[in-house]
Amino acid sequence: MEDKLDTIFNLQEAFDGELARRRGLDLSDRDQWVQREMTALIVEACEVLTEANYKWWKDPKEISREKVLDEMADILHFFTAACLRMGFGAQDLFSAYCAKNRENFARQRGETERPGYRSGK
């Protein structure tokens, strides 16, 4: 059984390939495509904010869990595409995440030399 993160990366890679073929896209300019993917990711994040009533000056509406989930999937789509464009695979992302998670725990426990983190209570 394939790991879920591996599956996401494989599905994204297949989609990107088909998209490029169908639309005649040149994906060779890595920097340009990372910028495009991140712009799309930001737009999708703004769509989550819109759903989550960020306009405090308006009457709030009920937040649609399904709409937020759909937007989160869009964010993951563009994030994964950018990872692939940079040559990062699922294992690279997993390793980087685990390292950052350990670092974040150490910071919160005050086990770091970085300024701004004192021993947790």
pLDDT, averaged across the chain: 93
Q: How far apart are CA 105 and CA 107, in angstroms?
A: 5
| Whole-prediction pTM | 0.87
Q: What angle do CA 110, 114, 87 make, to 5 degrees?
A: 110
Domain spans of the chain, in order of start: 4-88, 89-121
pLDDT in tens, 37-94: 999 999 999 999 999 999 989 999 999 999 999 999 999 999 999 999 999 999 999 9
pLDDT at 121: 52
Residue 62: strand, helix, or coil:
coil
Token digits of residue 18 = 């088909």
Determine the topology of domain 4-88 in CATH: Helix Hairpins (1.10.287)
DSSP 26: -
Reported as a pLDDT band with limits 50, 70 and 90, residue 110 is: confident
Q: How far apart are CA 9 and CA 81, in angstroms?
A: 8
CB 27 within 8 A of CB 12: no
* Number of CB atoms found within 10 A of residue 33's CB: 20
